[in-house]
A and B are shown apart, each in its own frame.
Chain A
Amino acid sequence: MNWIVEPLQYPFMQRALIEVAIIGALCGLIGSFVVLRGLAFIGDALAHAVFPGVVLSYVAGRSILIGAFIFGSLTAIGIGFLSRSRRVSEDSAIGVIFAAFFALGVVILSRQGGFRQDLGSLLFGNILGVSTADVWATLIVSLIVALITLALLKEFTLIAFDATMARAAGYPVFALDILLLLLVSATIVVSLQTVGNILILALVVTPPAAARLLTDRLSVMIVTSVGIAIGSGIVGLYISFHAATAAGATIVLTATTAFLICLVFAPNHGLLAGYLARRSGRHHAHHFHANEEVRVD
């Protein structure tokens, strides 16, 4: 019991726990679409591309959110247009740009004193250092992002599943794609302080990937993903407190552990279920064999 209560005596831990719960909920929600749309690489690109914005705000003594938002939005829009014109190979173009942005951030930072220490906290986050104002900012941004996402849940789902049909039915698919990228970008930006640039992608991708293994229903997947993300955040933070390990990285490894447990033990999609089904001679539930077609009429 003391294991749970003791850290709560420290105000920095209270703030960190609230922060990580908010971020977890947000990443679990937005991450579901990142996973379903196959945007992991683009998410990573966004996380790197905001770095110069973070550094410039930091150097100017402003909240890193401001610079990160500006760079994140520009990159999101840039990537949207890039993937529209199919003339350049999308992957390479995004790779070239985000690496360049990231390098630019490091170069700017290297002109400052105390370079190594600052770089560390910017790259890996500083969840234990969040202020009450940071928590409020995170809460407000998260509420806005979550509200927009939930309001457009059916449109985002349709486009993720079948963009051609969405376009044919008259939906403004391009505008909605840009909006989704902006929401992903905002999610990454507010999460930076928790786990930093390098590890943020893990928090966005791992919980929904684990949740997908547990269910075939999108609504259940989103709720489960949010749950896993919040759980990993809180459990990871506790472990890091007691084991004196880096908070962000411990949170990520906790989420990874949850994923691995799902991968092995998930009832239908898990490795163990698949193995047992093969051993008992039954077919895996999701392989329908042509010659087994059920005549229903």
Chain B
Amino acid sequence: MTSIETTPALEIRNLSASYGANTALIGIEASIPRGVVVGLVGPNGSGKSTLLKTIAGVIRPDRGSIRVAGQPIRTRATRVAFVPQREEVNWDFPVTARDVVLMGRYRAVGWLRWPGREDRRRAEEALARLGLEGMGNRHISQFSGGQQQRVFLARAMVQEPEIVLLDEPFTGIDIHNREVFHEAIQEFARAGITVLIATHDLAEVQSTTDYVMCLNRRMVAFGPTATTYTPENLRATFGGQVAVFENAS
């Protein structure tokens, strides 16, 4: 695990949030160090997306607080990158892969200015690192599902964030793309960036995360994966819906 500074990258205190008629989250507490990968697991409707969107600042908490690098999220330009669920992206939107990646630079570029040569270079570099070299000119609908997710990962890269939020990034993605993804996530962590992944893929959590949060509206458990990702906690999170792998250790 990478170095842990005294100020947590992400600090969530007694958080409750709701999203329209959707899931209410109650009493989330977590202190997450810099440069770790956190898996969010829980059944459908357990509030994984709601939690990510609350951290992103889209949903206003009903109670409690979130601090990024010690700062409340709504009082400063937070450097949080968000990789949306596939279903939430408008794939008909008239943008190319390069356009999408450049969006990650907009905040750094600032108001009333346009991305310059350096921003373009970074975008190309990020695309190349994710195996999409020379495909920047393609419209976003002209990629496979895995490639589309990689475009959004490239966007998160050029944003130089403190935290990256990934909402169900592995849905419908083949093994090759998973590997590219996990490599990129490890790269974020090595750079001191904290990564939160909402995932259904229980088998991969064990080997690919440092911390895990088990969520079912309430927070069932949070802690280092090695000690927290236990059959007991999973059973408490999913009820009877999951075949718990007893010999996970």
Minimum distance in angstroms from B118 CB to a CB of chain A: 16
A286 B139 Cβ-Cβ under 8 A: yes
Residue of B nearest to A217 (CB): B94
- Taking the complex as formed, is B112 at the interface, i.e. its CB lies under 8 A from any CB of chain A? yes
Q: Mark A82-97, 1 if CB is under 8 A from B, else 0.
A: 0000110000000000
Interface 1/0 per residue, A147-177 and B, CB below 8 Å: 0000100110110111111011111010000
8 Å CB contact of A218 from B95, B111, B174: B95
Question: B168: CB under 8 A from chain A?
Answer: no
A103 at the B interface (CB under 8 A):
no
Q: Which of A119-127, A186-194, A287-295 contacts B (4 or more CB under 8 A)?
A: A287-295
A57 touches B (CB below 8 Å): no
Distance to closest chain A CB from B77 (angstroms): 3
Is A165 a contact partner of B84 (Cβ separation < 8 A)? yes
Q: Could you say which residues of chain B place their CB within 8 Å of the CB of A86?
A: 19-20
Chain B residues with Cβ below 8 Å from A286 are 139, 141-142
Give the CA-CA distance A158 to B76 in the complex, in Å. 19
Chain A residues with Cβ below 8 Å from B77 are 169-170
Cβ B81 vs Cβ A169 within 8 A: yes
Which residues from chain B contact A168 at a C-beta distance below 8 Å?
55-58, 78, 80-82, 165
The complex places the Cα of A220 from the Cα of B137 at a distance, in Å, of: 14
Give how many B residues have a beta carbon under 8 Å from the other chain's beta carbons: 48
Given contacts A155-B106, A288-B143, contact A165 B94 (CB under 8 A): no
A162-B84, A165-B81, A168-B82 are contacts. A215–B103 as well, Cβ < 8 Å?
A: no
Interface check A296, CB cutoff 8 A: yes
B106 close to A151 (CB less than 8 A): no
Partner of B58, one of A151, A160, A167, A296: A167
A-contact 0/1 string along B146-179, CB 8 Å cutoff: 1100000001000100000100000000101000
Q: Are B106 and A154 in contact (CB under 8 A)?
A: yes
Residues of chain A with a CB closer than 8 A to B165's CB: 168
Contact A218 B79 (CB under 8 A): no
Nearest-neighbour CB distance to chain B for A169, whole angstroms, equals 5
Q: How far is the CA of A296 from the CA of B130 in the complex (A)?
A: 10
A161 and B151 CA atoms in complex are apart in Å by 14
* Distance in angstroms between the alpha carbons of A164 and B176 in the assembled complex: 28
Contact of A165 among B20, B82, B146, B174 (CB under 8 A): B82
| B184 is an interface residue with CB less than 8 A from chain A | no
Query: For chains A and B in complex, what number of residue pairs have CB atoms within 8 angstroms?
Result: 103
Query: Within 8 Å of chain B (Cβ to Cβ): is A36?
Result: yes
Interface string of B162-201 (1 = CB under 8 A from A): 0001000000001010000000000000000000000000
Question: Nearest Cβ in chain A — how far from B172, in angstroms?
Answer: 8
| Shortest distance between the CB of A39 and any CB in chain B (Å) | 14
Cβ-based interface call for B233 (8 A): no
Decide: B133 and A296 in contact? CB cutoff 8 A: yes
Nearest CB of chain B from residue A137's CB, rounded to whole Å: 27
Interface segment among B5-13, B85-93, B205-213: the answer is: B85-93
A212 interface residue (CB < 8 Å to B): yes
Residue pair A158, B103 in contact (C-beta under 8 Å): yes
B173 → chain A closest CB, angstroms = 10
Q: Is B125 an interface residue (CB 8 A)?
A: no
C-alpha spacing A268/B144, complex, angstroms = 19
Q: Which of these, A163, A169, A218, A297, contacts B99 with CB under 8 Å?
A: A218
B64 close to chain A: CB less than 8 A: no
In the complex, which residues of chain A have a beta carbon less than 8 angstroms from the beta carbon of B142?
285-286, 288
Given A218-B95, A218-B99, A164 contacting B53 (CB threshold 8 A): yes
Q: Shortest beta-carbon distance, B203 to chain A, in Å? A: 21
A285 to B19, CA, bound (A): 37
Chain B hits for A215, CB < 8 A = 94
Q: In the complex, how many angstroms separate the beta carbon of A158 from the nearest chain B beta carbon?
A: 5
Contact status A216-B82, CB under 8 Å:
no
**In whole angstroms, how far apart are the Cα atoms of A163 and B88 in the complex?**
10
Interface pair B176/A295, CB less than 8 Å apart: yes
Determine whether the beta carbon of A161 is less than 8 Å from that of B88: no
**Cβ B94 vs Cβ A162 within 8 A:** no
B145 at the interface (CB under 8 A from A): yes
A151 and B112 contact, CB distance less than 8 A: yes
B63 CB–A CB distance under 8 Å: no
* New A-B pairs, 19, CB < 8 Å, besides A161-B90, A218-B99, A293-B144: A86-B19, A158-B106, A161-B93, A161-B103, A162-B82, A162-B84, A162-B103, A164-B88, A165-B84, A168-B81, A168-B165, A169-B78, A169-B159, A170-B57, A170-B79, A216-B94, A293-B174, A294-B144, A296-B135
The 8 closest A-B pairs by CB, nearest first: A170-B77, A168-B56, A297-B131, A216-B139, A168-B80, A168-B82, A86-B20, A293-B144
